[in-house]
Structure 1
Amino acid sequence: MQKKIDYKNALFQAFVGVLCYFLFIRKDAVLTKPKLIVGDVMADGYEYHAKYFKDSEYFEKYQIPQQYERNWWVLSRMLDKIREKWGSPIVITKGYEPPLKVVIENDFQLCLAVQIYPKNSDYLGLYNLIKSMQSLGQITPSQFILMDSKQIKLSVNG
């Protein structure tokens, strides 16, 4: 025996389902979409004033961007630890660079990266010291790279 399809009931159930979706479910789905805000990376660092590095060395002629000041505190704290362990001056060769466009293009624009060079020119020794400090858990850089120009790029997470 073949059963007849009750089209009225099927259409009614479909209508109620679509209505419920638009009234109840869709609102929740729209509200839970993640929002991406470009350029708002901010570290959880507490206020810190560097012992060995001046703000002007990192920011040069630019004003400290207030939304990234905490990132600089985290970075400068790490630089001071490295400088303390190193025992001789370290020069900041590249620091903050303001964004030229609306889109953030690199870590330097967020105050999350710095390029350094040891004044005594022992860049391999400084690189190995940073590697050692990281493995001992004394510092936690997100990355550090020995550049072709014999400088070290050091980055932290926001």
Structure 2
Amino acid sequence: MEIPGLGVVAEDDAFEGYRSGAVGVPVLGGIDCEFIVQGYDEDDRPEDFHTAIRDFLALDSAALIAARPSIYAHYLASRHEAHQLRIPGPDSVLEYVELGNEPEVIRSETNGRISVTLECECRWEPDRGLRLVFLDGPVRPARACAGRIGATEDPAAPGSVRTTPMV
């Protein structure tokens, strides 16, 4: 099977969806990523997945630079007294994030929108990490996450996004 933007994909039972081969992702510095696409076969509007994938692959590093204030706000919101890590400001916050390399494409059961999510490691939440949500293009840092996105954890649900959209 082929999904536009990703090429030939294979079924992946672990994710109940499809896994792509290596695809260079400009917003992540051109690194090769394997995409996970969930819900594609049963979806009534697969073209929405194509649009989300195309828009995500069209982003460059400027999208992450624009998202630094939101990611920094997420860091500030998750700080606690015992936390020793001090990030001086938004301009350096990405130095404390290890970007993921397995974007997941999924339709929200809550609002019906397609998002591309990326689970990342971050030094201020080492046990939980950070999920970046690319919804209609912009980067939105969602709450820290501990698991995969599924029916019970919706990346585009009201309240899951900590900040306003970044352009």
TM-score (norm 2): 0.29
Q: Which structure features the higher share of helix residues?
A: 1
Q: Which structure features the higher share of strand residues?
A: 2
TM-score (norm 1): 0.30
Which one has a bigger Cα radius of gyration? 1
